[in-house]
Amino acid sequence: MLRMLLFLGTNLAIVIVLSISMRLLGIDSMLEQQGGGLNLNGLLIFSAVFGMGGSLISLAISKWMAKKSMGVRLIETPATKQEQWLVSTVEMQAREAGIDMPELGIFDSPQPNAFATGMNKNSALVAVSSGLLNNMTQDEVEAVLGHEISHVANGDMVTLSLIQGVVNTFVIFFSRVIGHLLDRVVFKVERGHGPGYWIGIIFVQMILSVLASMIVMWFSRRREFKADSGGAYLAGRQKMIAALRRLQHVSNPQPLPDEMAAFGISGGIANGFKRLFISHPPLEERITALENNLD
C-alpha cells in the first residue's frame, strides 16, 4: 500500500507542477485564443511538455523512487563476504562495460529479482533481491548482475523514457485533435469546448494510450534480448542461460513496480493478446536466443 501511495503521490505532484508551468508560460491561453479554430502549434507544445516532461521527471527521480518504494539498502561498506563479492563483481563488470560503478543495493523480497535504474549510465542504481541471493548460485547471480549492468551501459532507462515521452506526446495531441473534430463535426460546437472535446480527452486518450503501451512494451522486450546478450558477454553465456532457467522454476513470480519493471531480470507471464503488454519476452524465448547466439 505504501509503495502504491508513493507512486501515485509522485505522479500527482508531477501533474500539478506541469499544470502550473503551463499557466505561467501562457500556453493554456494560447489554446483558447483560437476560439472556433485550433492552435496546433500551441497544442503540440502543450502535449510535448506534458508527454516528455512527465516521462523525464520520472526518470530523474527514478533512483529516489526505487530506494523508497523498494526499501533498497545500499551497500556502502560491505559487511559480509557476500556483499564484498557483490561489490567486486559489479565493479569488474562496470569497468568492462565502460561505465562508472553504480550504486549497489539489496531489497527484501523472497522472489529472485533485480533491477537497474537511473537517469545517467554513470550514476545508476543496481539492486538485487534477498530472494535472488538466497535461491541462486553465485554464477547465476553474476549473470543477473551482468544483465542489469548491460541495461545501464546500453542506456536503456533513457531510451525507454524518451520513447514513452514521444508516444505520450502524440497520445495527448491526437486525443485533443479528435475531440476538437468531434465538437465541430458531430456536436456542431462553434466556439470553446463542448462534449466532443471531453469525450476525446477521456475515451480517445484511453484507446491511444493502450496502443502506445504496446509500442513501448515492444521496445522493452527488444532491450531485454540485448541485456541478456550483454550479461552473457560479461558473465558467460552458460551462466546467463542457467540464471534464466532458474527463473523458470520460480513459482508465482511477483512483478516489480511499473516504474522499474522494464529493467528487472524477470517479467510476468502472459499468453495471447496479453503478451503485447508485457515488458519482458517469455523466458524460453530468451534462452533460445542465447543458445542460438541471437540478440
Rounded Cα–Cα distance for residues 213 and 220 (Å)? 10
Which distant-in-sequence residues (6+ apart) come within 8 Å of 236 by Cβ? Answer: 139, 142, 143
Contact 53, 22 (CB under 8 A): no
Catalytic-role residue among 140, 142, 148, 259: 148
Rounded Cα–Cα distance for residues 217 and 240 (Å)? 22
Three-class SS of residue 274? Answer: helix
Rounded Cα–Cα distance for residues 9 and 14 (Å)? 9
Q: Is the dihedral of CA 72, 128, 263, 145 positive or negative?
A: positive
Contact 117, 62 (CB under 8 A): yes
Rounded Cα–Cα distance for residues 155 and 122 (Å)? 10
Q: Which of 192, 269, 255 is nearest to 31 (CA)?
A: 192
Take residue 4 and report the three cell numbers written for it.
502504491
CB-facing half-sphere around the CA of 294: CA atoms within 13 A: 10
Contact 38, 173 (CB under 8 A): no
Q: Is 148 an annotated catalytic residue?
A: yes
CB-facing half-sphere around the CA of 193: CA atoms within 13 A: 12
As annotated, the active-site residues are 148
